[in-house]
Amino acid sequence: MSSQNRPPFHTVERLPQTGLNRFFAAVYACAIVALLYRHAQTLVNSTTLPSFSITLSLLIADLVLAFMWAAAQALRMCPIRRKQYPENLKKSVREEDFPGLDVFVCTADPYREPLVGVVSTVLSLMAYDYPTEKISVYVSDDGGSAFTLFAFMEAAKFASYWLPFCRDNNIMDRSPHVYFSSVHSSNSETDKIKEMYENMKARTENVLNKGEVGENYINNDEEREAFNKWEAGFTPQDHPTVIQVLLDSRHNKDITGHFLPNLIYVSRQKSKTSPHHFKAGALNVLLRVSTIMTNAPLILTQDCDMYSNDPITTLRMLCYVFDPAIEPTLGFMQFPQRFQGINKDDTYGSEFKHLIRLHPRGADALWGAYYFGTGTFFRRRALFGDPTTCAKTGIPELNPDYAVKNPIKSLDALALAHTVASCNYENQTKWGHQIGFRYGTLAEDLFTGYRLHCEGWRSIFCDPERAAFLGSAPINLVDVLNQCERWGVGLLEIGLSKYSPITFGRRKMGLPIGLGYCCYIFWPVLSIPTTIYAFLPALALFNGVSIFPKISEPWFPLYSFLVIGAYGQDFLEYMAHGSTVKTWWNAQRMWMIRNISSFSSSTVECLLKSIGLSTYGFTVTSKVVDGEQNKRYSRGMLEFGVSSPLFVPPTMAAIINLFSFIWGAISIYNGDTDVGESLLLQMLLAGCIVMNCFPIYEAIALRSDNGKMPTKITMIATFLAGTLFAATSIIFK
Ligand X SMILES: O=c1ccn([C@@H]2O[C@H](COP(=O)(O)OP(=O)(O)O[C@H]3O[C@H](CO)[C@@H](O)[C@H](O)[C@H]3O)[C@@H](O)[C@H]2O)c(=O)[nH]1
Binding residues for Mn(2+), as ranges, are 279, 303
Residue nearest to ligand X (CB): 373
Pairing verdict, β 376-379 and 298-303: antiparallel
Task: Name 140's bridge partners.
Answer: 106, 266
- Residues annotated in a binding site for UDP-alpha-D-glucose: 113, 142
Q: Please answer whether residues 513 and 505 qualify as being in contact, where contact means their C-beta atoms are separated by less than 8 angstroms.
A: yes
- Bridge-based pairing of strands 242-247 and 10-14 is unpaired
- Residue 129 appears among annotated catalytic residues: no
> At residue 656, what is the residue type?
I
- Identify the residue among 382, 435, 620, 686 touching ligand X (CB under 6 A): 620
Catalytic residue (one of 102, 109, 141, 142): 142
Name the one range near Mn ion by CB under 5 A: 146-154, 240-248, 295-303, 454-462: 295-303
Q: Which does 442 bind (CB under 5 to 8 A by kind): ligand X, Mn ion, none?
A: ligand X
10 pairs with which residues across the strands? Answer: 84
The answer for residues whose C-beta is within 8 angstroms of residue 285's C-beta and 6 or more apart is 140, 266, 268, 420, 421
By a kind-dependent CB cut-off of 5 to 8 A, residue 304 interacts, out of ligand X, Mn ion, none, with ligand X
- Out of 120, 136, 140, 657, name the contact with ligand X by CB under 6 A: 140
Residue 116 binds ligand X, judged by CB under 6 A:
no
Q: Which residue spans within 48-205 are E strands per DSSP?
A: 80-84, 101-107, 135-141
Instruction: Decide if 547 contacts 695 (C-beta within 8 A).
Output: no
When binding is defined by CB under 6 A, the residue of 71, 72, 75, 106 that contacts ligand X is 106
- Which residues 371-390 are close enough to bind ligand X by CB under 6 A? 373-374
**Binder of ligand X out of 76, 201, 268, 279 (CB under 6 A):** 279
Check residue 103 for interaction with ligand X (CB under 6 A). Answer: no
The annotation places the binding site at 113, 142, 279, 303
Q: Is the dihedral of CA 548, 550, 554, 557 positive or negative?
A: positive
CB 655 within 8 Å of CB 718: yes
Give the residue with the Cβ less far from Mn ion, 305 or 397.
Answer: 305
Cα–Cα distance measured from residue 622 to residue 643, given in angstroms and rounded to the nearest whole number: 17
Candidates 173, 254, 303, 346; binder of ligand X (CB under 6 A) is 303
Does 282 bind ligand X (CB under 6 A)? Our answer is yes
b or e along 411-429 (b: 16 or more beta carbons within 10 Å of the residue's beta carbon)?
eebbebbbbbbbbebbeee
CB nearer to ligand X: give 122 or 545.
Answer: 122
Q: Which CB sits closer to ligand X, 28 or 372?
A: 372
Half-sphere exposure (Cβ direction) of 499: Cα atoms closer than 13 Å? 23
- Residue 463 catalytic? no
Residue 371 · residue 452 · CB < 8 Å = yes
**Choosing among ligand X, Mn ion, none, which partner's interface includes residue 487 (Cβ < 5 to 8 Å by kind)?**
ligand X
Q: 576 Cβ partners below 8 Å, 6+ apart?
A: 17
Task: Check: CB of residue 488 under 8 Å from CB of residue 524.
Answer: yes
Site map for ligand X, 450-489, x if CB under 6 A? ---------------------------------x--xx--
539 binds, among ligand X, Mn ion, none (CB under 5 to 8 A by kind): none
- Are 446 and 491 a contacting pair, CB within 8 Å? yes
Q: Which does 148 bind (CB under 5 to 8 A by kind): ligand X, Mn ion, none?
A: none
Cβ proximity to Mn ion: between 367 and 616 the closer is 616
x/- letters, 427..446, toward ligand X (CB under 6 A): ---------------xx-x-
Catalytic positions are: 142, 445
- Binding residues vs Mn ion (CB under 5 A): 303
